[in-house]
Chain A
Amino acid sequence: MKNNNIEPILKIENITKRFPGVLANDRICLDLYPQEIHCLLGENGAGKSTLMNIIYGLYTQDEGIIYVKGIEVEIKNPIDALRLGIGMVHQHFMLIPVMTVTENLMLGQEKTTGLKLGKLSKLDRSTVSAELQELASKYGLSVNPNAYIEDLSVGEEQRVEILKVLYKGAEILILDEPTAVLTPQETDEFFNILKLLVKQGKSIIFITHKLKEVLEIADRITVLRNGKTVGTTTPKETSMHKLAEMMVGREVLLNIEKGQPKPKEKVFEVSDLSVMDNRKINVVNGVSFFIRAGEIYGIAGVQGNGQKELVEALTGLRKAARGNVKLLGNDVTNEDARSLTLTGIAHVPEDRQKHGLVMGFSIDLNLILQTYFQSPFSNLGFINLDSIHENANQLVKKFDIRTPSIFTPVMSLSGGNQQKVIIARELNRPIQLLIVNQPTRGLDVGSIEFIHQQIIVARDKGVAVLLVSAELDEILSLSDRIGVMFNGKIVTEMNTSEADRAKLGFYMAGFSDEKMFHKE
């Protein structure tokens, strides 16, 4: 559709952006043609979000020029951007949890009815939600206009974000890691939407870390590294390995080869477990499974089918309503988090910033959050700074955590490095069972490769691993056995050898009858 004699709808020339101590964008050039899906690739911290934030008027560039439809423009703030038809879906969702979908949609461009009192007139919720539904049906993005954001699944939130941009009449859509949190089904849906949007005449810049997606959806691909443009290519000309190499600057193993599992005795056994969520509704009912030493048990499933509550129950963050849990034969049902940690359970939580880390603490403290009360880090209630620093220095080296110093607050680490801090902390102590939940969400291929290797290493050391993930590739490439969770139950179990994307997806979608599957 794009041939180079039409002029680009958006053209970026030599954009440079410095942050204290960092050259985030270094003379970056990029052009986007009408009705094009242009993928932007790069490691964590490569400068993608910064560049996009500049285009969207959140940051202002130090140098460089932006042209829209061939005209040089100055974008001082999002208003300017929107006026120019540029809309952005941000990497970290920009929705207000305590407000409804409608309210989030109208925020900034409120419609009002009744007396014209400017900012004091009455909000016109009904009209907007009508418009919303119209828009939604047009692009097949169904959401309940009156639902509160905090009650939505990430997938739905994603849809709201896109509706928000469309509602504001954007022609150029910037999507910063929109699929990082989506399940395969949701992703497929999402891609259909993108294609639809492009047909409707929109142009899209699409940031992701997932190479397969890039090859599937992109018209053209631009790769950034350390703030510089590495190059621009097209799916036909390139391959996953080439892309990965461009991003990271070295050879990357995309699917890590792991040795055959050597499962030993049962370490962990969950039988007939039921758990309620905050609204006191049973979201896990009668889940049973076991994990043996030295094997990885993967739980696949669309988000919101009880995985969160299941993991919380297994790690002492939530009480189980029924059933029991055995670790090494002794009952650990409803034990609190601390004693589970002590009996040898490690936990990599789903939300790294909410649960996994104290953002205000420096790295060295975050690395001992689970063990600060044990020797050598403390004796008689006093902490031993030397051993804490020593520990931190070791782990930073061993897990290649990129940071100025071990005293840096994790707040200013990239998510990739933040995740490494957690992994390092959890794996660096004698454990029987490792529970990891969405371990690589939003991370770049480099980080993903590294973290996957660490998990395998743990398995081969004889640790039993419970892997919960919505990333089918992750499940398939790591797990030895797979259980699919749907609607609070494990609807089927299989060995990885018998599993493939389609089959898993089928069960995740809630079907259960084998024959139906084969009819498909």
Chain B
Amino acid sequence: MDNQLNKLNPIKIIYISVIVPILAIFTALIISSVVIILSGSNPLIAYSALAEGAFGNLNNWIETILKTTPLIIGGLGVALAFRGGLFNIGVEGQIFVGSIATVIIGTTLKAPAIIHIPLTLLAGVLAGAVWAAIPGYLKARFGAHEVITTIMTNYIATRIITWSIGVNGPLRKTTSFVPETNSLLDTARLPLMISDTRLHIGIVIALILAIVVYILLFRTTLGIEIRTVGLNINAAKYCGIKVNRNIVLIMAISGGLAGLAGAIQVMGLSPYNFTAGFNVGYGFDSLAVAVLGNINPIGVVFSAFLFGAMDAGARLMQLRAKVPVDMITILQGLILMFVAANQIIRGIYRIQIQDKKADKVNLSQGWGGGSK
């Protein structure tokens, strides 16, 4: 089937995998600009501001990177679960739980940075992992559908945490009107890559993780097990893979990544604490990033960067062109649409070459649909 693909020469393959997405983004921008004009603003100003806000100067680059970091890690979490045939909508809650665990260890434990930082990160990972393992266990043990349970655990997490930093909450910073926790001790904060900027080493962790997850999925025996469970549970049982254990494990890893995303946000960004309104929305953005990245760890990095840049650039776009931030959401929606349905783009721009669609993972397997 994909032997036509093998016939494609490298240039054409690059052409497909680079030009098409770029054209998709371009088209999305055109369409959005119509909306901007209708609302009485100037798309050129808006977009130049958007670009400058994302890449204009060192600080803007840094903001882009900071926005990208949690999206990469969260996106990896979602993608990995999808590979294992699980639909983890619970990332939002897992990020929250991770952040809180980070706060607890980061504010209480007394230790030198070399020990404190890893432990605090670990706390985030473990918390997220455990929190995600619960839906995993419920699915393995009772067949409770993870889509429901993860939605539920989202609400449970956010509400309990809201309470914990709320009025008289146990984690509430006592010397503050604000619903926030104490700030992490200096020993628990991520070191900066460039001093006097906000750029912490989170991005390095994220990129390393992307590679790790790639290797995990495609170069390890565990990866084979995960993907087998994802594609054909019966075959997995037939060749002796412990399916239930794997389901819990996959959710745990996925949630661990989410938790880590939360931890890095708390440990990397001043004022190094958790407040109401912190990390809101990363969960669902991670879902978008994962699918835009074709649930491939490397793809996730690029899509996360795209989303991150737009989120960062949004500031200047509002400031300069008075275009509401919601424009970004529209843009992201359109881009996702055109990249996924790239036949539209091929149609518009008359691109003949066929795309490869080898090992197309069916994201919707969690439904009991998907593989036969």
Contacts and interface: CB of A to CB of B under 8 A. Distances in A.
B286 interface: no
Nearest to B237: A317
Contact of A359 (B2, B232, B238, B242): B232
A116 interface: no
A200 interface: no
A358 B4 CA distance: 23
A372 interface: yes
A412 interface: yes
Interface residues of B, number: 30
A373 interface: yes
Nearest to A336: B240
Contact of A381 (B1, B221, B241, B371): B221
A358 B235 contact: yes
A212 interface: no
B14 to A, nearest CB: 20
A338 B4 contact: no
A337 B358 CA distance: 30
A356 B224 contact: no
Contacts of B51: none
A317 to B, nearest CB: 6
Interface stretch (A55-63, A177-185, A271-279, A347-355): A347-355
A337 B240 CA distance: 5
B123 to A, nearest CB: 25
Nearest to A19: B1
B345 to A, nearest CB: 23
Given A355-B234, A358-B231, A372-B221, A405 B239 contact: no
B332 interface: no
A362 B231 CA distance: 12
A349 B1 contact: no
Contacts of B240: 316, 336-341, 370
Nearest to B228: A358
Contacts of A382: 215, 219-221
Interface residues of A, number: 39
A369 B238 CA distance: 9
Contacts of B337: none
A113 interface: no
B231 A369 contact: no
B221 A378 contact: yes
B359 interface: yes
B104 interface: no
A409 B242 CA distance: 24
Contacts of B372: 353-354, 359
B231 A381 contact: no
A359 B1 contact: no
Contacts of B371: 359-360
A329 interface: no
Interface of A: 20-21, 315-317, 336-341, 347, 349, 353-362, 365, 369-370, 372-373, 378, 381-383, 385, 404-405, 407-409, 412
6 contacts: A356-B238, A360-B360, A365-B224, A381-B220, A383-B221, A408-B2
Interface of B: 1-4, 6, 215, 219-224, 227-228, 231-232, 234-235, 237-242, 358-361, 371-372
Across the A-B interface, give the 10 residue pairs with the lowest CB-CB distance, nearest first: A338-B240, A337-B240, A355-B238, A369-B239, A360-B231, A373-B221, A358-B232, A404-B3, A412-B1, A378-B221
